[in-house]
Structure 1
Amino acid sequence: MATANMATETTTPGHLGDPSYLSHLSSSLNQLRQQACLCDVTVIVDNQRFPAHKAILSCASEYFQSMFTSGFQESTSNEVTVPGTGGSFSQLLEFAYTGYFTLSPTTVAGVLNMACYMHFSQAVEVCANYLSEVKDSITIDDCFEIWSVASNHGSLAELSESFRRHLVRSFNKCAESQSFLEHSSVDFLLECLGDEEIETDTTTEKQILQAVIAWLQFN
């Protein structure tokens, strides 16, 4: 009887699989996209056209999931137009199909902005991790954009604080930027003026005064 039970146990089918299958599936789907094969939607961004599959976009982005399941016109249309830049969307599309994309200090701000807007949550996380490593290589204008985007995205509170502090410490460079005039609030300006990390030699004090006057005139 024990022998019979042992035989039954060893011949019971197991939960088996191929660890490389998901990678193969991702690669195959991306090839279909690149060949515009079996695509059921074309996303138009900044006059550029991107063939894609609604199911893939919906899995990667809450924005597209809502768009394609809402019952409105977009859910049945084979073309949709969305705001943004073609370069940034191209990277997000690559991420949606493969889980990877190419970022650089000059492009990450635009990709993060679009990823937040379209709720590519995992892409946002990758951007945030990358930014923590290359913060010192980001232009001041892009730093202001990243700070603004992160401040309005709940999951990026840590990134927002990091870039706010970075901008305060880089006050001299900030003051020379158009973004300083356009995006600085009164609270941010007061924080800069009261920060002990800002140097207080004669030249810097003159720069601070000039920055305050320029900001007041602009606003």
Structure 2
Amino acid sequence: MSNSHPLRPYTAVGEIDHVHILSDHVGVLMNGEEYSDVTFIVEKKRFPAHRVILAARCQYFRALLYGGMRESQPEAEIPLQDTTAEAFTMLLKYIYTGRATLRDEKEEVLLDFLSLAHKYGFPELEDSTSEYLCTILNIQNVCMTYDVASLYLLPKLTCMCCMFMDRNAQEVLSSEGFLSLSKPALLSIVLRDSFAAPEKDIFQALMNWCKHNPKENHAEIMQAVRLPLMSLTELLNVVRPSGLLSPDAILDAIKVRSESRDMDLNYRGMLIPGENIATMKYGAQVVKGELKAALLDGDTQNYDLDHGFSRHPIDDDCRSGIEIKLGQPSIINHIRILLWDRDSRSYSYYIEVSMDELDWIRVIDHSKYLCRSWQKLYFPARVCRMEEKTP
């Protein structure tokens, strides 16, 4: 005859772990009037609590309840203005039980909950909530999530928001959340080179933000627009009628655009760390070179004299080469190439990058070296659309 027992098994010989029972018993006290000696008022709702439990779990409440208030006071009501009842309910549950359920809550409540975890000094709760928010980012919530993450200096959540916004820049610009960004968060987003939306779209989104936030310094916001990246038609028919930028600023942009090298313009580009963007997956294509698909299929193991590699003729003027057009302007600082190594030949080469196929910048020059096999090449990060390797 068996007898089931509700207790969990020992974690080790001579060790008893009934923490779950302790959590359940203390959790019963939450929101109960019995034994409570302090009440919080949040959005006109009353939350009875126990000073000793709050003080044991949180330095903030320890200072609040036993520092600035008389310990002998039998009952106290404390209004809290910086939170919602839903978020405070979640916090009390965590304080009393060590548990919190995030998956069924709205993003606004989760961000309020994250704010409380930060304010009241629960770093583990702050980290766990941040990790969960990383998994539910979408166009509707990414802006307000980024605002909170950057305010509280949460590096992982901030980074995930940035990556999401970079890959969905145009959708983010047209979202309602973009209009509600704080000025510091707004500027930190649009000033990044990797926020790669057309400059006209960025200008119009910032113009809408200025209308939505009339008390802010609009001149400072408009400085984030890279006017030289806009066409003459856009400058005259979109920027000028808005009245947000002076005629001199528009003329200066036209002057910069007409007098600068194309590759000296401050372009924006997609940033996809750690991935090969010269593939068909990302829309790349071989403009010059034979067996074009082989270069973009990602297979660097199976090649011989007949297949598995791209090649090009070597002309007397050394202007032939393999030219790749990326799917979109991209920020790159690293190229790996595999030179033919099925025999003893060596090669000299250089690599140039361009945005328009007219103005080329040389980023690697191995024209005076004899090279073989894998080449792992690093150079200062640049925005480009075209790459060319020339022998």
Q: Give the TM-score normalised by the residue count of structure 2.
A: 0.44
Q: Tell me how many residue pairs correspond in the alignment.
A: 193
Pair 1:38-2:40 in alignment: no
| Aligned-partner Cα distance in 2 for 1:145–1:118 | 21
User: Structure 1 residues 128 and 60, CA, compared in 2 at 3 Å: closer, same or farther?
Assistant: farther
Query: Unaligned regions of 5+ residues in structure 2, if any?
Result: 1-12, 219-391
Deviations 1:8-41 (A, max 9, x none): xxxxxxx955311x32222112112243221111
Which residue of the partner structure matches residue 126 of structure 2? 124
Is 1:95 the equivalent of 2:77? no
Contact kept, 8 Å, 1:68 with 1:74, in 2: the verdict is yes
Residue in 2 that maps onto 1:11: none
Superposed CA RMSD in Å reads: 2.8
- Aligned partners of 1:74 and 1:80 also within 8 Å: no
Task: In structure 2, give the amino acid aligned to 1:186.
Answer: L
Look up the SS of the partner of 1:39 in the other structure. coil
Q: 1:158 & 1:190 partners in 2: Cα distance?
A: 20
Give, in angstroms, the shift of residue 164 of structure 1.
2.6
Unaligned runs of 5+ in 1: 1-14
* Structure 1 residue 177 displacement after superposition: 3.2
Answer yes or no: is the 8 Å Cα contact 2:134–2:161 preserved in 1. no
Give the Cα separation in 1 of the matches to 2:71 and 2:102: 30
TM alignment of 1:111-190, pairs within 5 A: 111-136=113-138, 140=140, 142-154=141-153, 156-182=154-180, 183=182, 184-190=185-191
After superposition, residues 194-213 of structure 1 pair within 5 angstroms as: 194-195=193-194, 198=196, 206-213=200-207
Secondary structure of 1:32's aligned partner = coil
Instruction: Give 1:94 deviation, angstroms.
Output: 0.6
Q: Which residue of 2 aligns with 1:62?
A: 59
TM-score normalised to structure 1 length:
0.73
Rounded to whole Å, the distance in 2 between the matches of 1:179 and 1:133 is 18
- In 2: Cα distance, 1:167 partner to 1:51 partner: 42
Deviations along 1:69-119, one digit per CA (max 9) or x if unpaired, are 323469945221112100000011111111111213623222112222222
- Structure 1 residues 60, 174: CA separation in 2 closer, same or farther (over 3 Å shift)? farther
Amino acid at match of 1:52: A
Contact 1:33 1:39 in 2 (8 A): no
CA contact (8 A) 1:113 1:146 kept: no
Distance in 1 separating the partners of 2:127 and 2:203: 38
- Alpha-carbon deviation of 1:158? 2.0
Separation of aligned partners in 2, 1:37 and 1:51 = 9
Deviations 1:31-66 (A, max 9, x none): 122432211111111111111111222233332122
Higher mean C-alpha displacement, 105-114 vs 47-56: 105-114
Q: Given that residues 33 and 52 in structure 1 are in contact (C-alpha distance below 8 angstroms), is that contact kept between their aligned partners in structure 2?
A: yes
Q: Residues of 1 paired with 2:210 and 2:77: CA distance?
A: 46
- 1:112 touches 1:124 (CA, 8 Å); kept in 2? yes
Structure that is richer in helix per residue: 1
Q: 1:174 to 1:59 in 2, by over 3 A?
A: farther
Distance in 2 of aligned mates of 1:174 and 1:118: 32
Please state how far the C-alpha of 1:172 moved relative to its aligned partner.
Answer: 2.1
Percent identity reads 26
